[in-house]
Amino acid sequence: MEIEHQEQIIIDLLAKLKNAEGGYPKKLLASRRQIYLKQIANMSLGMGAGTGLKNLAEGPKGGLTGLHLPAIPTSTFLEAVLVVAIVIEAGIVAYRYRDKIVEILTSAPTARAEEVVPIPITGSSQPEAATPSLTPTATPTPSPANTPTFTVTATDAQLLIQSTDASATATPIPQNDNGNHYGQTPKPDRTKVKNTPKPTKAKKDSAPTEIYDRP
Amino acid sequence: MNDGVALLKAAQKLDEDALTAIFDQFAPAIYKYTLRLCHDPIVADNIVGDVFAQLLEQFAAGKGPRTNLRSYLYQTAYHLVVDRSRDNQHNAPLDVAVGTYEKGQIAPTQTQIEERVMMEALIAAMNTELTEDQRHVIILRFLEDFSLKETAEIIGKEVNNIKVIQNRGIAKLRKALGMQLGDGW
């Protein structure tokens, strides 16, 4: 009982001690408050531009009380502003130079399938000459010294046209040919003459005698 | 309570008026609390600045207190004081009523004199007899009027642990006052 009473006295003393405390010195408090306000201003400038706009719109001093802006991050807000500015600038430039743009668009070459530029034919004035004709000037002879020479009168372009016009013909399918040609190859004729005597072998002993027989 | 919640929500949106109001409301109390712990007005002022700078950083990062702003500020101050005392390699002395208990400008009565003597003995006992945890708990509980739960949150201990620390601290103070003032005080 005595202990509880003494502890209660201590608690009462502590409560009085609380009320007897001195306050924050005015100069210290004022300077600390100024620093704090600067920190708030720096933070609002650096990080909270979007939020600051929102507060401005929602705050009683803002004058835009009826306007409710969503909470936009600063980076998104700046990005949107930049995109809008770029679009507006592009529109102004397009309007100012609209005549030049129309000229450029109309003068641009358009690819048409119907218009085929005729290829000029060089070397012959007649259209019949378009077909390539191979005129051999020399007939091939068995002598290897005379190589056959050909004169091509058509140009490469004509050949190209000719080759594109010509329809490709497939190789005819052989009849009754299953692909098995075993035993059908004709045997070659024998070139050796029969009953031709074989040359006799020279005797080993006769050779030195021939040497001695020479004059 | 609703005003506190509204103030906190506005501060979370970095509303300048709300942030200024928070400073005006809590800075003097935080200063008193830190002054009790570190007994140096300049250090206490610096800790107040650090507490509110951290608060701004937390709000800017989308963090910070969601419900109990006062408890959060005291918790930050407590940690800063503890860190500072560890850095200085000495215990943060508790100067509970430095220069604040005015010594009788008017002629004190006998009761006032007795009370003053007891008060000075109490301050001396708090500074010399109590452990650091006991001092923190008694200051938060009886000088700052925090509940057991809030004190536990600030110091970072369980509520039951806070109860034990508080009872032991008061018992120590009672014994110290008995030593100084006599058993029958």
Kindly list the structural domains of chain B, giving each domain's residue range(s) and its CATH number in brackets, ordered by start. Answer: 1-93 (1.10.1740.10), 104-185 (1.10.10.10)
Q: Which two tokens stand for residue A85?
A: 């500015």
B172 or A129, which is more confident? B172
Give the pLDDT score at B106. 54
CB atoms within 10 A of CB A84: 10
Interface test with A, best of B170, B175, B177 (most A CBs within 10 A): B170
Q: How confident is the model at residue B165 (pLDDT cuts 50, 70, 90)?
A: very high
pLDDT in tens, A12-31: 888 887 776 668 888 889 99
Give the pLDDT score at A87. 94
Give the pLDDT score at A118. 61
Distance between CA atoms of residues A28 and A14, nearest Å? 26
Using the Cβ of B101 and the Cβ atoms of chain A, whether some distance falls under 8 Å is answered with yes
Q: For A95-200, where are the E strands, in sequence order?
A: 134-136, 150-152
Q: For A25-149, where are the E strands, in sequence order?
A: 134-136
pLDDT in tens, A152-193: 455 554 555 555 555 567 777 667 777 777 777 777 777 776
Task: Give the containing element (helix H, strand E) for A213.
Answer: helix A206-213
Q: How confident is the model at residue B47 (pLDDT cuts 50, 70, 90)?
A: very high
- Contact yes or no for A13 and B99 at CB 8 A: no
Q: Which residues in chain B are closer than 8 Å to A40, comparing Cβ atoms?
A: 14, 16, 19-20, 56
Minimal Cβ distance to B14: which of A13, A18, A43:
A43
Give the pLDDT score at B157. 93
Interface test with A, best of B13, B58, B167 (most A CBs within 10 A): B13
Beta bridge partners of A134: A152
Nearest Cα to B119, choosing from B108, B133, B106? B108
Q: Is the pLDDT of residue B11 over 60?
A: yes
Minimal Cβ distance to A28: which of B15, B36, B41:
B41
Distance between CA atoms of residues B2 and B34, nearest Å? 28
B17 or A108, which is more confident? B17
Q: Is the pLDDT of residue B90 over 60?
A: no
For chain A, list residues with pLDDT below 70. 1, 20-22, 46-74, 109-168, 173-174, 193-215
**Tokens 């007795």 — which residue?**
B114
Q: How confident is the model at residue B101 (pLDDT cuts 50, 70, 90)?
A: very low
Contact of B148 with B163, CB cutoff 8 Å:
yes
Minimal Cβ distance to A18: which of B20, B143, B173:
B143
Distance between CA atoms of residues A152 and B66, nearest Å? 96
Report yes or no on whether pTM surpasses 0.80: no
Using the Cβ of B146 and the Cβ atoms of chain A, whether some distance falls under 8 Å is answered with no
Percent of chain A scoring above 70 in pLDDT: 44
Minimal Cβ distance to B173: which of A10, A39, A43:
A10
Distance between CA atoms of residues A72 and A66, nearest Å? 18
Give the pLDDT score at B65. 87
